[in-house]
Structure 1
Amino acid sequence: MRNDIIEYLQKEVYCRCKQPTNKFVIGCYYHIEAVVKNAEILAGKHGTDKEVVIIAAWLHDIALITDYAMYEEHHKYGADIAKEILNELNYDKKMALVQKCILNHRGSVKLKRNSIEELYVADADAISHFDSVPSLLYLAYVEKGMDIEHGVDFVRKKLERSYY
C-alpha cells in the first residue's frame, strides 16, 4: 500500500477544497472523505485492490474542486488530472485502473464498469450522497440559489440517480 501517495492525496484534496475558486467549498472535502471511507469498507470486505480503490476515491472529484468549468465532464477531466498527479508521484503501476475508476464513478453518466474496483468507487460515491444530504442541500439552496421546491427536486434526483 502506497501510504505516502494516499497521505499526499488527502492533503492535496483538502488544499484544493479550501481554495476560494472551489465553488463546492469545504463541504466537498467531507464528501470525498466519506467516499474514501466507504470505498475502504467495500474493498476490505470483498477483496479487491484496496490501494487502487482508495487512490481513485481521493481523486474521483478532483476536477470539480479544481475548476467548476469542468463540472459536466468532471469524470473525464478528473481521469486526466489524476494521471498528471500520479505521474508526478511516480505511480504508474496501476494508473490505468485508477483512471477507469474515476471515469466511471458517476451515477448520472451511464458508462460500463468493467472491474470490481470501478464498481466500488461508484458505489462508495453513491453511498456518500446519502451520508451527506446537508451538503447536497447547501449546494441546492446556497450555491445554486434554488427555491424550496426546486431544491427538493434537485436533491431527490441526485439521490435517485446515485443508483441505476
Structure 2
Amino acid sequence: MAYWLFKTEPDTFSIDTLREQQRACWEGVRNYQARNMMRDQVRCGDLVLIYHSSCKQVGVAGIAEVVREAYPDHFAFDPASDVYDPKSTPENPRWVMVDVAFVSKMKRIIPLSVMKAMPELAQMPLVQRGNRLSIMPVTEAEWQAILSQC
C-alpha cells in the first residue's frame, strides 16, 4: 500500500462531495507527471489525503481509498467537457483517471501553514516552493505526521 495526496478545488469537488457520493472518479488531471504517477504507481488499496486548494481554507480535508486503478479519462473525449483534449481519443487515450472511495473527513482542515511548520514534512513535495502537482506521493512517516494533527 502507498500513500498519496490529491489536490482538488472544493468549489468543484470537495471531501463533502465525495462523502455524499461515497465513490467517484478522479478525473481531469492534465499534467503528464501527475498522469504518469496515477497510471503507473497508484493502486487499489492505496490511501489518499484529499487536499483542498485554491480556496479560503487550504489544507488536508479528508481521506479516500483508491478502489479502481487507472483507466481512460473519457471526459477528455467530450467536446462539452472543461477538460476536453482533442488529441486524446478512445483508441489512443492521453489521460487517465482512478476511482476513489470516501474513508473519512478530518475533524478540522489541516492547514498548509501548519504542515509547512512541521520539521517532519520538510522534504514533502507539497511544502516545497514551486511544486504545483495535483497528485503527489506521501511517505508513511509524512502520512503519520499529518494524521497526528487531527
Specify if TM > 0.5. Answer: no
> What is the TM-score when the length of structure 2 is the normalising length?
0.28
Query: In proportion to residue count, which structure has more helix?
Result: 1
Whose RCO is larger (CA < 8 A, sep 6+)?
2
